């Protein structure tokens, strides 16, 4: 049962991060399309957001290891 809980935690964490990254990149591309002169600022903000979202699967893996 612990293995199933660990697999679900990692899978949902990865799914959530994938959706979150897609939304962040979608917003950034839309913003760059509307205002190309803000490309650098938007990309910087996007990379920070992606890094924060990517922390979720890492935390999920740690929790999965703790559950096992």
Dihedral of alpha carbons 57, 60, 66, 68, sign: negative
Model confidence over 17-44: pLDDT tens digits?
A: 999 999 999 999 999 999 999 999 999 9
* SS (HEC) of 27-62: HHHHHHHHCHHHHHHHHHHHHHHHHHHHHHHHHHHH
Structural domains for the chain: 1-67 (1.20.20.10)
Task: State mean pLDDT over 12-16.
Answer: 93
Q: Is 26 helix (H, G, I), strand (E, B) or coil?
A: helix
Residue 48: per-residue pLDDT: 96
Average pLDDT, whole number, for the chain? 93
Residue 33: per-residue pLDDT: 96
Per-residue DSSP letter, 1: -
């Amino acid at each position: 049962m612990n293995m199933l809980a660990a697999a679900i935690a990692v899978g949902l964490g990865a799914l959530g991060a994938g959706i979150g990254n897609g939304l962040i990149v979608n917003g950034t591309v839309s913003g760059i399309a509307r205002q190309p002169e803000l490309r650098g600022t938007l990309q910087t903000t996007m990379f920070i957001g992606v890094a924060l979202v990517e922390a979720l699967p890492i935390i999920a893996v740690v929790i999965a290891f703790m559950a096992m």
